[in-house]
Amino acid sequence: MQRYTNTAIALHWLVAILIVGAFSLGLFMTDIPGFSPAKLRYYAWHKWAGVTVLLLAAVRLLWRLKNRPPDLSTDMPPWQRQAAHALHNVLYVFIFAVPLSGYFYTLAAGFPVVWFGVVQLPVLIAKNQALADTLKPVHYWLNMAMAAVVALHVLAALKHHLVDRDDTLRRMLPGRSR
């Protein structure tokens, strides 16, 4: 079995956990009525997670460009290998597009993004309510689309593990020897 590198595995699972956490927090915090210290804290945490996803995704992409992932099994039908590559490419687009859309939405709404309350990210666009009104649903629907693609990714991995009984999932699990 060819495995991903330990670095690729760590980056995969860190990004996955952060995405699930940020997504869940985003759904929770937007349902809280009005403004409260707790709601503002959740928004800060959501933004911190998004910035962290963006940074780790950049590291992950650079790692992947320099460290070729293991080939998919030759036992897998060609259409499944092509679908897997396409799905991974779509996931990478969402992993960058979702946090970027949130970042630009926040800026357009007139709020700075201060990572962990310490590092202020550059303000690349001025406050623009019309743009914020456009970016808010864009950010939401990108999240919903990414959730659907992530669900498909998880279902495909489980199908390979439970139905096909191949090593597709095992090669990305942490804690296994090479």
pTM of the model: 0.92
- DSSP code of residue 160: I
Average pLDDT over residues 96-108: 98
Q: What is the pLDDT of residues 126-136, one digit of tens each?
A: 999 999 999 99
Instruction: Select the more confidently predicted residue: 51 or 72.
Output: 51
Instruction: Report, as an integer, the average pLDDT of 62-69.
Output: 94
Give percent of the chain above pLDDT 70: 98
* Extents of the domains making up the chain: 6-172
pLDDT tops 70 at residue 177 = no
3-state secondary structure of 120: strand
The answer to whether 121 touches 148, Cβ cutoff 8 Å, is no
3-state SS, residue 163: helix
Mean of pLDDT values over 127-152: 98
Which pLDDT does position 99 carry in this prediction? 98
* Interval 136-151 mean pLDDT: 98
Does domain 6-172 sit in CATH 1.20.950? yes
**Residues 30-41: pLDDT tens digits?**
999 998 999 999
Report the pLDDT value the prediction gives residue 176, as an integer from 0 to 100.
62
Residue with tokens 């790692």: 63
pLDDT band of 178, cuts 50, 70, 90: very low
Token pair of 70 as six digits: 């293991």
Do residues 60 and 4 make contact, with C-beta atoms less than 8 angstroms apart? no
The two tokens of residue 139 are 């950010």
Residue 157 has pLDDT above 80, yes or no: yes
Query: Is a pLDDT exceeding 90 seen at residue 143?
Result: yes
Contact 137, 105 (CB under 8 A): no
As a whole number, mean pLDDT of residues 94-101 equals 98
| Model confidence at 104: pLDDT above 60 | yes
% of residues, the chain, pLDDT over 90: 91
